[in-house]
Amino acid sequence: MAVVLKHAMKPTLNAEDMARQRFVSGLRVFVLNDLASDMRQAYDTRLVPSFKQTHGREPATGAEVHQLMRMDPAFTTYSALRVTAQKMVWDSVAPVVKREQARVNEVASQASAGKLTTNPAMPIPRNVSAIDVHFMPGSYVGAGGDDVSPGATYDQGLAVFSMGLMGANLDDIGLSMSAYVSRKFPAFKPKRILDLGCTIGHNTLPWKQAYPDAEVIGIDVAAGGLKYGAARAKLQGVDVAFQQMNAEKLDFPDGSFDLVFSSMFLHELSLKSIGRVFAEIKRVLRPGGLMLHMELPPNTQMGPFEGFYLDWDCYYNVEPFYKAFRDQEPRDLASRAGFKPEHYFQFVVPSVGSYGDAAVSEAIAAESHAVNKETTGRLAAGIQWFGFGAWQERAQ
Ligand SMILES: C[S@@+](CC[C@H](N)C(=O)[O-])C[C@H]1O[C@@H](n2cnc3c(N)ncnc32)[C@H](O)[C@@H]1O
């Protein structure tokens, strides 16, 4: 089901727009649930037995599963339809964004005033500028400048793409993560919070709602998305500031944040960039501060089939860094940046939208932090989110 946005920049959809977007969302539900389950069945009943006959064992890695599945009709049907549905997500919102471009730019210019700092001279990194990330036309930047169309495209596209699993305001990740942190660490009261790669700030806003006294800043390299996000926040009455900045080179002093967060960000960076981003996080965190990332769960903590399933995006959805990131152990990424191993933690939090608010407290109480291979990070019914973090050492 496509989400109907509720904030003041929401588009006016005609019957044809609505039918098109609902169809695409429904197609994604069909592909990611029904066809995915057919593919799993083909794997268990056809492909594993034949692999075992040849090799005397089951496939051991995601790469082996991928190799095995490639020529199977259950996979080619799933994959072809999933690519088609992905492209249709953007096609289904493009005419609406174009039609409303002048109005939305006007509203965004007024509503973002005072809450947006751009840096037009800043080079856009090639992981954003050189490819149409997940087939989004123009990637996060569009034609450049401060036209907010890339922000509107992302917001409306995510509403179709998410099939209702990210909530009515597309903020389920931020809501679930901030609920987890505020309940798991009740003594931790961050006064300054930074969200890296925030796009339109949809998962930034919940941090301000969880910690109303904190100053919350979202940064991204893409100005159009930030401007849209600044207006989106203002129009929803949430006081968050947005700055155009590269997370690999932050314009903030040492020790100036209590919490540095990111969601769905690291998998769009090369491993070299991740190293530089982690070094910057380490630098800007205060003693006793927290680095926290919501991400896809790592291959090391999943079975071969589930690893293959999530890595699909790397091969077929213009997400070139996805697998290299998922092949890392998050604990090692943190420790390479200088976070002590004993200060690292990871967790799985139930989506508040899917399971209800109480489920977060129950998960904390049960200390059920292991990755569930079927539901963690998989955008389908029963979704749970994976997170990991590390505390900055306290001053001696
Ligand atoms: C998948 S989106 C993240 C979306 C959002 N955080 C969420 O919770 O859904 C990745 C974002 O990272 C931004 N980005 C990529 N490289 C960056 C960098 N080096 N510094 C800051 N932002 C970057 C992109 O412009 C894009 O908006």
* Rounded-to-integer distance, Cα 329 and Cα 92, Å: 37
What integer pLDDT is reported at residue 6 of this predicted model? 81
User: Average of pLDDT values for 291-302?
Assistant: 95
Rounded percentage of the chain residues whose pLDDT exceeds 70? 99
Q: Does the pLDDT of residue 372 top 80, yes or no?
A: no
What integer pLDDT is reported at residue 287 of this predicted model? 98
Residue owning the nearest CA to atom 13 of ligand 1: 197
Q: Does the pLDDT of residue 341 top 90, yes or no?
A: yes
Q: Does the pLDDT of residue 259 top 80, yes or no?
A: yes
pLDDT tens digits, one per residue of 111-151 = 999 999 999 999 999 999 999 999 999 999 998 888 999 99
Task: For ligand 1, pick from 221, 226, 267, 292 the residue to mutate: most ligand atoms within 8 Å of CB.
Answer: 221
* Rounded-to-integer distance, Cα 352 and Cα 180, Å: 10
pLDDT tens digits, one per residue of 303-338 = 999 999 999 999 999 999 999 999 999 999 999 999
Provide the residue ranges of all domains of the chain, joining segments of one domain with +.
Answer: 15-116+125-161, 172-391
What integer pLDDT is reported at residue 141 of this predicted model? 93
Contacts of residues 377-383 at CB distance under 8 Å and 24 or more positions apart, as own/partner, are 377/295, 377/296, 377/297, 377/310, 378/306, 378/309, 378/310, 379/32, 379/162, 379/163, 379/165, 380/32, 380/33, 380/36, 380/165, 381/33, 381/165, 381/354, 382/354, 383/165, 383/351, 383/354
Token pair recorded at residue 243:
């700055």
Residue owning the nearest CA to atom 10 of ligand 1: 265
What integer pLDDT is reported at residue 396 of this predicted model? 67
What b/e string do you get for 91-127 counting C-beta neighbours within 10 Å, with b at 16 or more? bbbeebbeebeeebbebbeebbeebbbbeeeeebbeb
Minimum-distance ligand 1 atom for the alpha carbon of 262: 6
Task: For ligand 1, pick from 118, 219, 220, 325 the residue to mutate: most ligand atoms within 8 Å of CB.
Answer: 220
Ligand 1 center to 101 CA (angstroms):
23
Question: Nearest Cα to 317, choosing from 62, 97, 78, 65?
Answer: 78
- Domain 172-391: state its class: alpha beta
What integer pLDDT is reported at residue 144 of this predicted model? 83
What integer pLDDT is reported at residue 285 of this predicted model? 98
* Rounded-to-integer distance, Cα 15 and Cα 38, Å: 33
Question: Within 6 Å (CB) of ligand 1, which residues are found?
Answer: 125, 127-128, 140, 173, 197-199, 203, 219-222, 225, 246-248, 263-265, 268-269
Minimum-distance ligand 1 atom for the alpha carbon of 198: 6
Ligand 1 center to 338 CA (angstroms):
23
What integer pLDDT is reported at residue 1 of this predicted model? 64
pTM: 0.96
Rounded percentage of the chain residues whose pLDDT exceeds 90? 90
Q: Does the pLDDT of residue 353 top 80, yes or no?
A: yes
The number of CA neighbours under 13 Å toward the Cβ of 360 is 22
Mean pLDDT of the chain: 95
Ligand 1 center to 315 CA (angstroms):
20
